[in-house]
Amino acid sequence: MDQLRTLIMVHEAGTALGAARILGREQSSVQKQIDTMNRNFRELCGEPLVLKQGRGKDVLFTGTGEALVELARGTLGEWLDGIHESRRRLGKTLVVGTTRFTLSYLAGAGERVSEEFRQRAIELKVGHVRTRDVLAKLRAKDVDLVCGSVVTRPEGDDELAAFDVMEWRRSGVSLLTNLSEAELPGPTAPSSALRSLPLVVSASGLMAGVLHTWFGGDYRNKLRIAAEIDTVNYGFELLRSGLLRGCMLVTKGVADAAGDPRVAYGRGLRAVELVNDTGPRLEVLLGAFTRRGERASYDAGHPLNLLWDALAQENARWQREQRWPTAGLEPDPFELANSYNPSES
């Protein structure tokens, strides 16, 4: 296994010296392994794995060498996957993904289980997941549990049938706009009106998914896209600046919170709720997700079940206290949408 790993590193780095730096080893150790493999494969196949090209030049991999590198990658990958699967099943490792806007939930739940995890030497790995990848990461088994948001339908969604879902919030879709009421009357507007309105849209994410569902994959050619943005906060700034007059799709929670005087991002903007007349009614569901049936296959003391229960307790506490997720700071618009319901205060 170590020789195969060394071969892969030489292939990626080009030289024994480069591989040694990556592996944190002496060049002579790496070169000895390559020489041993070269000798063995010359006897087995009639061809070495690598050929030296001269001082300072990358080695040349032969056809046999290229084939073995490909085989080594697959072998080591499957071997590591097997180890990770065993550690997951035995409760030694738990991998959790979270979007930026659900990190506060996970942090609070993590505090509830941290001592038991420490005593039992359970390794908790946490990674950032983009909203568009929430379910894909679970399907690929890159994570065991993920906290985030998905677009769904009130009557149910076949896509969610493969997952256990802990629902924290649901929110409809609204517009934030700097257009006058003469240009866009309120307080509601049909979703079909989006065809004629200048729109600020995200390149990807939840709202891009909404537009895709309502208007098809070529929605950019059907709608008036005034600006395409990478971050929603930039969209708020763009509309507040007045450089562009238009509308931006947001969750209803964000739109409702825009009128709160504590929230700078909404100043000068007006909320208009969308009434759907275009396609299926859509909602944004915020919560925690795992692969269906996986928790039931483990006992109550498995780390996946412990963290799931801690997340449920954390959500109950936030709803009971109706507190801001970042006490003492001006709330992030997504934190407002996902952790605070202005109608309850």
Question: For 283-312, what is the mean pLDDT?
Answer: 91
Which of helix, strand or coil describes residue 243?
coil
Render 133-156 in DSSP notation, one character per residue.
GHHHHHHTTS-SEEEEEEEE-TT-
User: Percentage of the chain with pLDDT > 90?
Assistant: 29
Looking at residue 305, its pLDDT comes to: 94
**Mean pLDDT over each residue of the chain, to the nearest integer:** 83
Looking at residue 291, its pLDDT comes to: 93
As to burial, measured by CB atoms within 10 angstroms (0-12 exposed, 13-18 middle, 19+ buried), residue 250 is: buried
Cα 264 from chain centroid (whole Å)? 27
Bridge partner list, 224: 198
Question: For 41-60, what is the mean pLDDT?
Answer: 87
Looking at residue 338, its pLDDT comes to: 45
Looking at residue 145, its pLDDT comes to: 94
pLDDT tens by residue, 65-91: 999 999 888 888 777 766 666 666 666
In 3D space, the residue among 139, 112, 149 whose CA is nearest the CA of residue 307 turns out to be 112
Quick one: angle between helices 2-13 and 63-89, nearest 10? 120
Q: Indicate if the pLDDT at residue 221 is higher than 80.
A: yes
Please tell me which residue, 345 or 111, carries the higher pLDDT value: 111
**In what helix (H) or strand (E) does residue 94 lie, and over which residues does it extend?**
strand 93-98
Structure confidence at residue 286 as a pLDDT band (50, 70, 90): confident
Q: Tell me which of 84-93, 105-114, 168-177, 296-305 is least confident.
A: 84-93
d(CA 53, CA 268): 66
Structure confidence at residue 329 as a pLDDT band (50, 70, 90): very low
pLDDT tens by residue, 118-156: 999 888 889 888 877 888 889 988 899 999 888 888 777
pLDDT tens by residue, 174-219: 899 999 999 999 899 999 999 999 999 887 777 888 888 889 888 9
Question: For 24-48, what is the mean pLDDT?
Answer: 90
Looking at residue 250, its pLDDT comes to: 86
Question: For 293-308, what is the mean pLDDT?
Answer: 92
Please tell me which residue, 272 or 231, carries the higher pLDDT value: 272
Cα 140 from chain centroid (whole Å)? 12
Question: For 84-109, what is the mean pLDDT?
Answer: 78
SS3 percent helix, strand, coil of the chain, rounded to 5, is: 50, 20, 30
